[in-house]
Amino acid sequence: NAGVTQTPKFQVLKTGQSMTLQCAQDMNHEYMSWYRQDPGMGLRLIHYSVGAGITDQGEVPNGYNVSRSTTEDFPLRLLSAAPSQTSVYFCASSYSRHMNTEAFFGQGTRLTVV
């Protein structure tokens, strides 16, 4: 049982480059989300999805796009990387869209923008 899988684990980008962070879950979860974790600021929600074809913005969506074409996958796209996007990114999933069930997290992607 793989759970939530994120790739890549590490990435260095130059300012202005774009890239996609991949997230896949094999638990048939309705709900998926992306968080970023910064020192002293905790985890902040970027985007979330309550099912295939449905996405919405979280607290810090600017500079990021998402799509949810299948239940399993929820990629996060950085459109034009900026140093302020240097962070650790976590993908999470939960069985229920209402977050009243346990949340499962991936191992994270550590992104550095230079």
Partner 1 sequence: KQEVTQIPAALSVPEGENLVLNCSFTDSAIYNLQWFRQDPGKGLTSLLLIQSSQREQTSGRLNASLDKSSGRSTLYIAASQPGDSATYLCAGSYNDYKLSFGAGTTVTVRA
Can residue 14 be called a binding residue for partner 1 (CB under 8 A)? no
Q: Does 27 bind partner 1 (CB under 8 A)?
A: no
1 forms part of the interface with partner 1 (CB under 8 A) = no
Closest to partner 1 by CB, 17 vs 44, is 44
The answer to whether 105 and 90 are in contact (CB under 8 A) is yes
Task: Please report, as residue ranges, which positions from 60 to 89 form the binding site for partner 1 (by CB under 8 A).
Answer: none
Q: Exposed, middle or buried, 67 (CB in 10 Å: 0-12/13-18/19+)?
A: middle
Q: At its nearest, how many Å lie between partner 1 and the CB of residue 96?
A: 10
21, 29, 31, 68: which one binds partner 1 (CB under 8 A):
31
Side-chain half-sphere CA neighbours of 31 within 13 A: 14
